[in-house]
Amino acid sequence: MDPVLVLTQALNGLQLGVMLFLMAAGLTLVFGIMGLINLAHGALYMAGAYAMAATVAATDSFLAGIAAALLAAAAVGAVVEMAALRRLYDRDHLDQVLATFGLILCFNELVRLIWGPAALFVTVPPALSGTVEIFAGVPYPAYRLAVIAVGIAVAGGLYLLIARTRLGMLIRAGASNRTMVAALGVDIRLLYTAVFALGAALAALAGAIAAPLLSVEPGMGEPVLILTLVVIVVGGIGSIRGAFVAALLIGFIDTMGRAFLPAMLREVTGPATAAAVGPALASMLIYLTMAVVLAVRPQGLFAARTG
């Protein structure tokens, strides 16, 4: 195998991994603390991408787009949380599935209503449009490299926020015993809204930085949501550390599998079988990974300490 290609694909896997982490962090936090399974998390990702596309189209500024995406999604998240989702925290998971499934339908249709069914495109900012030579003779798109850097920086920031700040302390306390936190006089409703808005902003950041790499269209959140669910199941539901490790693992396996599995199969089974089975197996690889992890550790790689 060509080492340059392997390195490039490994970086692509890392880039997908950090994006998945941005999604998974919010989803796993919301589940760990509020006990809510939020299927509409992908809709917030989509909201971020659309806010980005609309702002870049209006102002021509990439950074303004990012800021708009973060603010818009945090605001949408806070409103949705206060208006609907907060009533569902103590309910059955079934009610949560029903309501958030309804939210997905609403968001997808709203986006179609406002921007139409056609896909929008965002161009990479000129400063990052070139390639960087990471090693001699290995060029890599600067934008993707920037995405990786942003993702790792946000992961670090999130770690500091949760481990070192008062808000993080409340989040951790809320995750281990929310009744007790409320009894100690913390405004738990405000905390929940803040956590939800934070998760929404992270998802929107993922959507916004993914916008130049993908097409921005209605329903774009769902494929990412499914990958994110795989990530949190593998990582252990409720665990941010697990989400980080699993996001990188899943991003890496998915990218490498798609890039190299068909070629590897061709050498083993011959071209005819490989052409038929290769792509199928590559797209199923992460689910097989999940199955293996579950067979060995049903609670995920890093089981959260509580629920």
Partner 1 sequence: MARVAVWAGLLAAAILLPIAADAVGETYYVGLATRILVFALAAVALDLVLGHGGMVSLGHAAFLGIGAYSVGIWTTHGVTSAGVHWATAIAAGGAFALATGLLALRTAGVAFIMITLAFGQMLYFLAVSLKGYGGDDGLTLWEAARLGPLDLGHDATLYWVSLAWLVAALLLCRRLVASPFGLVLQASRSNERRARALGLEVGRHRLAAYVLSGALTSIAGALLVHATDFVSPAYMGWQRSGELVVMVILGGVGTLAGGVFGAAALILLEEVLAGLTQHWMLLLGALLIAMALLSRRGVAGLLDRLRGRA
DSSP helix/strand/coil, 131: strand
Q: Minimal distance in Å, beta carbon 35 to partner 1?
A: 8
Q: Which of residues 4-33 bind partner 1 (CB under 8 A)?
A: 31
Q: Is 304 in the site for partner 1 (CB under 8 A)?
A: no
In sequence order, which residues have a C-beta less than 8 Å from that of residue 272 and are 6 or more positions away? none
CB 228 within 8 A of CB 43: no
CA dist 9 and 1 (Å) reads 12
Q: Tell me which stretch binds partner 1 (CB under 8 A): 11-19, 61-69, 110-118, 172-180.
A: 110-118
Burial string for 267-287 (b: 16+ CB within 10 Å, else e) reads: eeeeeeebeeebeeebeebbe
Count other C-beta atoms under 10 Å from residue 159's C-beta.
Answer: 14
Q: Minimal distance in Å, beta carbon 299 to partner 1?
A: 8
CA dist 240 and 230 (Å) reads 14
Rounded to the nearest 5°, which phi and psi values hold at 216? -90, 110
Q: Minimal distance in Å, beta carbon 241 to partner 1?
A: 17
Q: What is the phi-psi region of residue 271: left when phi exceeds 0, alpha when psi lies from -120 to 50, beta otherwise?
A: alpha
DSSP-H helix ranges across 142-238: 142-164, 166-176, 178-183, 188-210, 221-235
| Window 151-190: contact mask with partner 1 (x via CB under 8 A) | ----------------------------------------
Tell me whether residue 112 or residue 172 sits nearer to partner 1 (CB atom).
Answer: 112
DSSP-H helix ranges across 35-141: 41-59, 62-83, 93-115
Q: Minimal distance in Å, beta carbon 263 to partner 1?
A: 16
- Please tell me the count of residues contacting partner 1 according to CB under 8 A: 47
Tell me whether residue 19 or residue 88 sits nearer to partner 1 (CB atom).
Answer: 88
Among 110, 138, 145, 182, binds partner 1 (CB under 8 A): 110
Among 145, 146, 159, 279, binds partner 1 (CB under 8 A): 279
Q: Which of residues 192-251 bind partner 1 (CB under 8 A)?
A: 222, 226, 229-230, 232-233, 237
Q: Which of residues 72-101 bind partner 1 (CB under 8 A)?
A: 84, 87-88, 91, 93-99, 101
Q: Which of residues 35-74 bind partner 1 (CB under 8 A)?
A: 37, 39
Q: Which residue has the tokens 């941005």?
A: 22
- The binding site for partner 1 (CB under 8 A) comprises 31, 37, 39, 84, 87-88, 91, 93-99, 101-110, 112-113, 222, 226, 229-230, 232-233, 237, 276, 279-280, 283-284, 287-288, 290-291, 294-295, 298-300
